[in-house]
């Protein structure tokens, strides 16, 4: 595996303060359990453009029109609870890449 | 911190008969404004945000909408609630083209993100409990809604190992 660079995840939602807050906490919690160290940047969807360059991938609770060449994962299941484990798994796998 | 600290009986309407989501927004906004929780600009903020980023959540039984907007329109954090006698149509947060029939609306007034992490986490927990949503829909009056949420909180705190 070698020395991995710490991944940076961009977590975005419409206002950047509500659903993205819950999603960020759930990701950090899951990373703690997996003993993974990550950077999380929380922002509004409209701000993704200015942060995307520094991010490894994007997690949002809405549909993204443009993910600026980055992989994006829809994390709405972390809010509704429907399919939550699957999405967390996908995010963890992406971090481990 | 308890979730119920953010619910106030004067900010809750039960069994509301509304024609559309705009009417629900207007009614809950009035309550938040009259009780000093939000600025006049809050309603416009809610309507604009809902247009670009809808907040309808498709759940396992009763669907919930969580309209909210930028912190600059908010004076004090609170959650206003409307239970609807007939569902109104919102757009799905997951897909803005898709309609979702909503019977419970939690209008969230947030004035800063990080101090309210716990509040948001607990609210999300609440909307994931179909049993609790059903109870909220079945009661009449703001005090009763708060009681239902309070008893759910108690039950969960007992069950949790911290």
Q: What is the CATH number of domain B3-159?
A: 3.40.930.10
Q: For residue A62, give how far its alpha carbon lies from the nearest alpha carbon of chain B (Å).
A: 5
User: Model confidence over A36-90: pLDDT tens digits?
Assistant: 999 999 999 999 999 999 999 999 999 888 999 999 999 999 999 999 999 999 9
Least confident range of A15-19, A34-38, B90-94: A15-19
- What does the alpha-carbon distance between residue B18 and residue B15 come to, in Å, rounded to a whole number? 9
| Chain A: residues touching B (Cβ < 8 Å) | 13-19, 21-22, 25, 42, 45, 61-63, 74, 76, 79-82
- What does the alpha-carbon distance between residue B56 and residue B91 come to, in Å, rounded to a whole number? 6
> Alpha-carbon torsion B50, B91, B28, B24, what sign?
positive
Q: List, in order of start, the domains of chain A with CATH numbers.
A: 7-86 (3.40.50.2300)
Strand partners, A17: none
pLDDT at B40: 98
A60 φ, ψ to 5°?
Answer: -135, 170
Of A16, A21, A62, the CB nearest to B117: A21
Strand-strand pairing, A71-74 and A38-44: unpaired
Looking at per-residue pLDDT, the higher value among A4 and B18 belongs to B18
How confident is residue B114, by pLDDT bands cut at 50, 70 and 90?
low
Q: What is the mean pLDDT of residues B102-130?
A: 89
ipTM above 0.90, yes or no: no
Q: Which long-range contacts (CB under 8 A, 24 or more apart) does A27-34 make?
A: A27/A59, A27/A75, A27/A88, A27/A91, A30/A88, A30/A91, A30/A92, A31/A92, A31/A95, A34/A92, A34/A95
Say yes or no to pLDDT of B122 above 50: yes
Mutate one of B57, B111, B130 to test the A interface: name it (highest A CB count within 10 A).
B57
pLDDT at A1: 47
- What does the alpha-carbon distance between residue A84 and residue A75 come to, in Å, rounded to a whole number? 8
B94–A76 CB contact, under 8 Å: yes
- Residues in chain A within 8 Å Cβ distance of B124: 22, 79, 81
Looking at per-residue pLDDT, the higher value among B3 and A37 belongs to A37
Q: How far apart are the first and last CA of chain B?
A: 14
B120–A13 CB contact, under 8 Å: no
Say yes or no to pLDDT of A4 above 80: no
pLDDT at A5: 80
Residue B72 contacts residue B8 (beta carbons within 8 Å): no
- Residues in chain B within 8 Å Cβ distance of A45: 53
The torsion angle over the Cα atoms of residues A50, A59, B58 and A29, rounded to 10 degrees, is: -130
A61–B116 CB contact, under 8 Å: no
B113–A16 CB contact, under 8 Å: yes
């Amino acid at each position: 595996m070698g020395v991995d660079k710490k991944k940076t995840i961009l977590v975005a939602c419409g206002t950047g303060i509500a659903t993205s807050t819950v999603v960020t906490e759930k990701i950090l919690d899951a990373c703690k359990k997996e003993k993974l160290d990550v950077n999380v940047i929380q922002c509004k969807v409209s701000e993704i453009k200015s942060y995307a360059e520094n991010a490894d991938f994007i997690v949002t609770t809405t549909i993204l029109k443009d993910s600026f060449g980055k992989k994006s994962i829809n994390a709405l299941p972390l809010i509704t609870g429907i399919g939550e484990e699957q999405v967390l798994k996908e995010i963890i796998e992406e971090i481990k890449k | 911190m308890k979730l119920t600290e953010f619910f106030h009986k004067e900010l809750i309407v039960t069994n509301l008969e509304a024609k559309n989501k705009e009417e629900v927004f207007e009614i809950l906004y009035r309550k938040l404004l009259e009780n000093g929780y939000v600025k006049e600009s809050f309603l416009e903020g809610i309507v604009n945000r809902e247009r670009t980023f809808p907040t309808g959540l498709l759940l396992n039984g009763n669907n919930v909408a969580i309209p909210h907007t930028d912190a600059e329109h908010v004076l004090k954090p609170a959650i206003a609630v409307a239970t609807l006698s007939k569902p109104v149509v919102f757009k799905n947060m997951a897909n803005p083209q898709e309609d979702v029939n909503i019977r419970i609306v939690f209008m969230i007034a947030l004035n800063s993100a990080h101090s309210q992490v716990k509040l948001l986490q607990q609210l999300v927990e609440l909307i994931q409990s179909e049993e609790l949503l059903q109870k909220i829909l079945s009661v009449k009056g703001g005090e009763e809604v708060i009681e239902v949420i309070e008893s759910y909180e108690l039950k969960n705190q007992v069950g949790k190992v911290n």
